[in-house]
Amino acid sequence: MARRVETRKLTNAEFAQRCAYLAKVTAAWAGDMLTLPEEHHTPVRVETVAMFTAEIRGWLDRLEQQVSPAPAHKEQAE
């Protein structure tokens, strides 16, 4: 008999909160990059992109972990 895979619970409101937080974080990065008008046309540093992607990827990884299937429990032999 097939067992249903249980997932961890995350409500719509909690998901929306995570999305809003990510929007805030990315907006802060954008704002920081636009602080000095004289640098608007300067090429972005590779290190800056790496720091940004690492931070966002970390948040996305945590989000995925929150809704990933729970570890399966081994059934005892009958």
75 within some domain: no
Look up the domain containing 29 and give its range.
12-34+44-67
Residue 56 contacts residue 22 (beta carbons within 8 Å): yes
pLDDT digits (tens, 9 = 90+) for 36-72: 999 999 999 999 999 999 999 999 999 999 888 766 6
Give the model's confidence band at 33: pLDDT under 50 very low, under 70 low, under 90 confident, else very high: very high
Q: Note the pTM of the prediction, 2 decimals.
A: 0.72
Cα radius of gyration (the chain)? 20
- pLDDT score, position 45: 96
- Answer for the pair 65, 3: CB distance below 8 angstroms, yes or no: no
23 inside domain: yes
Tell me whether residue 16 is in a domain. yes
Residue 77 lies in a domain: no
Distinct helix (H) and strand (E) counts, the chain: 2, 0
Q: How far is 52 from 35, CA to CA, in rounded Å? A: 17
In a domain, 58, yes or no: yes
pLDDT band for 9, please (50, 70, 90 cuts): confident
- Please give the tally of structural domains in the chain: 1
Q: Report how far residue 29's alpha carbon sits from residue 78's, in angstroms, rounded to the nearest whole number.
A: 57
> Does some domain include residue 62?
yes
Q: Which two tokens stand for residue 57?
A: 């990827």
